Structure 1
Amino acid sequence: MIREKLIEKRIGETTSFRWRSSEVSRIEGLSDAVFGFAITLLVVSLEVPKTFNELAIAMSGFGAFAISFALLFLVWYNQHKFFRRYGLQDLVTIVLNAILLFVVLFYVYPLKFLFTFLVSRFTGGHGEIRLPNGNIESMLENDGQMGSLMLIFGVGYLAIFMIFVLLHIHAYRRREQLQLNRLEVFDTISSIQESGLNCVIALLSIALVWFGGARLAGVSGMAYMLTGIVMALHGFFMGARRRRMEKEFASQFSEPVYQPAPELQS
Structure 2
Amino acid sequence: MPAPIKPLYTDEHLAGLPVKGGYRLRGLEMTRTETFTDAAFAFAVTLLVVSIDAIPTNFDELLNAIKGIPAFAFSFALLLNFWAGHWKWSRRFGLEDWPSVLLSLLLVFLILCYVYPLKFLSSLFMHWISGGRISGSATLQSPGELHAIFAIYGAGFVMLCLVLAALNLHALRLGDRLRLDPVERISTRSEVGAWLILAAVGMLSVLLALLTPVTRFILPGWAYALLWPIMHVYGVLSGRRIEAVKKSLAPPA
> TM-score, normalization: structure 1?
0.83
Q: What CA distance in whole angstroms lies between the structure 2 residues aligned with 1:86 and 1:250?
A: 24
Q: 1:27 offset after TM fit, Å?
A: 0.4
Does the Cα contact within 8 Å between 1:35 and 1:76 map onto a contact in 2? yes
Of residues 61-70 and 44-53 in structure 1, the stretch that sits farther from structure 2 once superposed is 44-53
Q: What residue ranges of structure 1 are gaps of 5+ in the alignment?
A: 1-9, 131-137, 252-266
Of residues 227-236 and 213-222 in structure 1, the stretch that sits farther from structure 2 once superposed is 213-222
The correspondence of residues 215-254 of structure 1 with structure 2, limited to 5 A, is 215-249=215-249
Higher RCO structure (Cα 8 Å, ≥6 apart): 1
Q: What CA distance in whole angstroms lies between the structure 1 residues aligned with 2:204 and 2:222?
A: 11
Q: What residue ranges of structure 2 are gaps of 5+ in the alignment?
A: 1-16
Q: What CA distance in whole angstroms lies between the structure 1 residues aligned with 2:95 and 2:112?
A: 23
Q: What CA distance in whole angstroms lies between the structure 2 residues aligned with 1:127 and 1:54?
A: 14
Hey, what does 2:103 align to over in structure 1? 96
Q: What CA distance in whole angstroms lies between the structure 1 residues aligned with 2:242 and 2:28?
A: 25
* CA offset digits 1:97-116 (Å, max 9, x no partner): 11110110011111011010
RMSD: 2.1
Closer, same or farther: CA 62–126 of 1 in aligned 2, 3 Å: closer
Answer yes or no: is 1:61 the counterpart of 2:68. Answer: yes
> TM-score, normalization: structure 2?
0.87
Hey, what does 2:57 align to over in structure 1? 50
Hey, what does 1:37 align to over in structure 2? 43
Hey, what does 2:160 align to over in structure 1? 160
* CA offset digits 1:202-260 (Å, max 9, x no partner): 11111111111423431111000111111100011111121122234457xxxxxxxxx
- Runs of 4+ aligned residues of structure 1 deviating over 6 Å after TM superposition are none
SS in 1 for 2:23: coil
Q: 1:21 offset after TM fit, Å?
A: 1.2
Q: 1:11 offset after TM fit, Å?
A: 10
Does the Cα contact within 8 Å between 1:13 and 1:19 map onto a contact in 2? yes
Hey, what does 1:198 align to over in structure 2? 198
Hey, what does 1:5 align to over in structure 2? none
SS in 2 for 1:41: helix
Identical counterparts, % of pairs:
33
Query: Which one of the candidate residues 10, 19, 24 is aligned to 2:25?
Result: 19
Q: 1:45 offset after TM fit, Å?
A: 4.1
Of residues 47-56 and 90-99 in structure 1, the stretch that sits farther from structure 2 once superposed is 47-56
Does the Cα contact within 8 Å between 1:21 and 1:84 map onto a contact in 2? yes
Closer, same or farther: CA 17–249 of 1 in aligned 2, 3 Å: farther
Query: Which one of the candidate residues 78, 83, 93 is aligned to 2:85?
Result: 78
